[in-house]
Amino acid sequence: MPRFTILSVIMIVLTQAGFSQGFSTAELANSSDTLQSGKLISTYREFFKWDQYHLALDSWWTIFNDYPDISERLYVDGVTMYHHFIEETPEGDARDTKMDTLMLIYDQRMTYFGGKGNILGRKGSDLLRYQSDDTERVQAAYGMLKESLEIEGTRSRELIMVNTIAAGLMLHQAAMIDNSQLLEDYFLVAGLLDQQEGGSYRRERTRASINDMIMKEGILSCEGLDLHFGPQFEQNSTDPGLIEKIIDAYTLAGCNQSALYLAASEKLYEIDQSSELAHQLALLFIGKDDLEKAAWYLQLAVLDDKLPDETRAEWFYELSIVSLAKGDQCEAITFAREAKAYKNDYGEAYIALGDAFIACRKQLGDDFQQRSAYWAATDMYQTAAEVDPDLSEEASQKLAICVTQYPSTEDIFFQDLKVGNSFLVGSCIQENTTVRSRD
């Protein structure tokens, strides 16, 4: 990812509410130690509030050196001033010196007021903000940001999460960290976002920014994910946390036909045997053309007694289609009948039933018996068009084919039958229909 793209994401997040140099100790007040410190504070604050930072600096530095523990506000204001000084100074030694001073301000604040995780995040973010062209500084920033995340955990601010990924991407481009490390960073940040309570627009924007950066860099390739997760899954294939991580990553990367993704999904089903997951697995195996496993998971899915009738009907229909595709015509008939039983106006189920009747015809015996399957199929196609007019064209095409396969009037006569008679089609079709002739 080009650096300007990464930095633009950082600058967007910098504008988010909450990125302020807030402080947690006593408000600024005249020092109880000496009148001198009170005068110094008053002097620098007066200049500071009018943005006269250069005039405020002498008094501020005296307090910084002589009264370092007087107030955390001193350090907050110092960071504000040195942000200004850095931004107005061209690249070069003078700017580098001001950056060193900014780092010193953070270090002394941490010495006297603690908050290591928070301060490291701010230090790392400023290094990345002002010195992203210096690989050593980026590396230092990366270390600070990672340590900040480890300390702060779910309290970590969104900016620190984005900057951690941004710094990692810069180092990845410089061949200083590999794909595996970058993926670890991504999952660390994604996990922290998942663990944070409540909904937040900023959190979702952060997640979107991180996903976008990772995807553009091509880190979440199917091959890269296999290399990263393969050994982990082999060693601990029953770890729910790892399984969830694998499924989330492969879904984001569009790698849901990966063998590892399928294996992880099956392991997840062993842990959480939900009908939804069984159905998802069935669809995945259909995509892999593994119809046996697809049928197996569809049969598990329809067992859920809490399924709405319409959903159960749709899944039985899918089961009928899969069964027919793998050559189990009788099962296809059974499942199509189940589908229309749960949804009597389900036109697709009637179409599927008619198709299964025709596919099953060779089980009926001689040529005349086989042709009787087309009578039963005709009934299904006609019903499909009646209950769902959107299927009229498809049904008409199938009906036209059926007519060409009816027996002749002569053949019907020699069977001691007449057109219009009732007829029971045998085998697993077991459907009462009407004798029809093609002529």
Q: Residue 33: pLDDT above 80?
A: no
Q: pLDDT tens-digit profile of 45-70?
A: 999 999 999 999 999 999 999 999 99
Q: Which residues contact 65 (CB under 8 A, 6 or more apart)?
A: none
Q: pLDDT tens-digit profile of 365-393?
A: 999 999 999 999 999 999 999 999 999 99
- Position 35 scores a pLDDT of 65
In CATH, what number does 3-217 get? 1.25.40
Q: pLDDT band at 335, cuts 50/70/90?
A: very high
- Position 201 scores a pLDDT of 81
For residues 149 and 420, give the distance between their C-alpha atoms in angstroms, rounded to a whole number.
Answer: 80
Look up tokens 């960073």; give the residue: 185
pTM check: above 0.85: no
Lookup: tokens for 382: 């006609």
Give the chain's mean pLDDT.
Answer: 89
Q: pLDDT tens-digit profile of 161-176?
A: 999 999 999 999 999 9
- Contact of 192 with 156, CB cutoff 8 Å: yes
For residues 437 and 17, give the distance between their C-alpha atoms in angstroms, rounded to a whole number.
Answer: 78
Q: Which residues contact 234 (CB under 8 A, 6 or more apart)?
A: none
Return the domain boundaries, the chain.
Answer: 3-217, 220-272, 308-434
Q: pLDDT band at 265, cuts 50/70/90?
A: very high
Lookup: tokens for 20: 């302020």
Among the four given CATH numbers 1.10.1040.10, 3.40.50.980, 3.20.20.80, 1.25.40.10, the one describing domain 308-434: 1.25.40.10
For residues 95 and 8, give the distance between their C-alpha atoms in angstroms, rounded to a whole number.
Answer: 21
Q: Residue 5: pLDDT above 60?
A: no
Nearest to 322 by CA among 335, 312, 310, 311: 335
Q: pLDDT tens-digit profile of 207-230?
A: 889 988 988 887 788 888 888 889
